[in-house]
Copies of this chain bind each other. A is one copy, B any other.
Amino acid sequence: MARWEPGAGDRLREAALSLYLERGFEQTMVADIAGRAGVTARTFFRHFADKREVLFDGASELEKKSLAALDAVPAPTPALDAVAAVLDTVAQVAGGDRELARKRQAVIMANADLRERELIKLTSLSTALAERLRRRGVGDIEASLAAETGIVVFRVAFSRWVTAAEVRDLRDIIRETLSRLRNLAGR
């Protein structure tokens, strides 16, 4: 076969991120993205469900790995400890390219629709985690609480990780954040 060329999906992803950075999300039209990627707008929608999704389609892989990580935790582990183990894995998946993450986050934070989409991706992860926890015998409410709490820790830690001044690993920040939450909530 010919030498490797990025597929249309990858080109669209790149084109979208750069355009969102240059002009902002709302000022970028799907036709612009498609044009930069060398395809038509119709093709954009064959690769991504909508204009926002182009920034979020890594989420399904994150979810898959997170669930695998949870399944790898031995059964008798307390719910929140199991979630902590998941967060270590999440840190590896999401905590790689910090500069890319900063760019992406800058775009997302600048637009309400994108913030909405980001939230629902994390909620979807939380729901999936809770469901697995229940299968392990964790109570209904406890499963939801543990999963959602884990997501809260991730969100707070992540938002700190992409801060300009911050230099620590995402994993370290997550651990510290979880520990602070325990102090906060413990009686």
Contact = CB atoms under 8 A, between A and B. Distances in A.
B186 A187 contact: yes
Interface string A98-123: 00000000000000100111011001
A165 to B, nearest CB: 12
Nearest to A179: B187
Interface in A164-187: 177, 180-182, 184-187
A149 B79 CA distance: 16
A160 B149 CA distance: 17
Contacts of A145: 152-153, 156, 177, 180-181, 184
Contacts of A146: 184
25 contacts: A80-B184, A115-B120, A116-B116, A116-B119, A119-B119, A119-B123, A141-B156, A141-B180, A142-B184, A144-B159, A145-B153, A145-B156, A145-B177, A145-B180, A145-B181, A148-B152, A148-B155, A149-B149, A149-B185, A181-B185, A182-B185, A182-B186, A184-B185, A185-B186, A186-B187
3 residue pairs, one from A and one from B, having the closest CB atoms: A186-B186, A185-B185, A116-B116
Given A144-B156, A145-B184, 19 more contacts: A112-B120, A116-B116, A116-B119, A116-B120, A119-B119, A119-B120, A141-B156, A141-B177, A142-B180, A142-B184, A145-B153, A145-B177, A146-B184, A149-B152, A149-B181, A182-B185, A182-B186, A184-B185, A186-B187
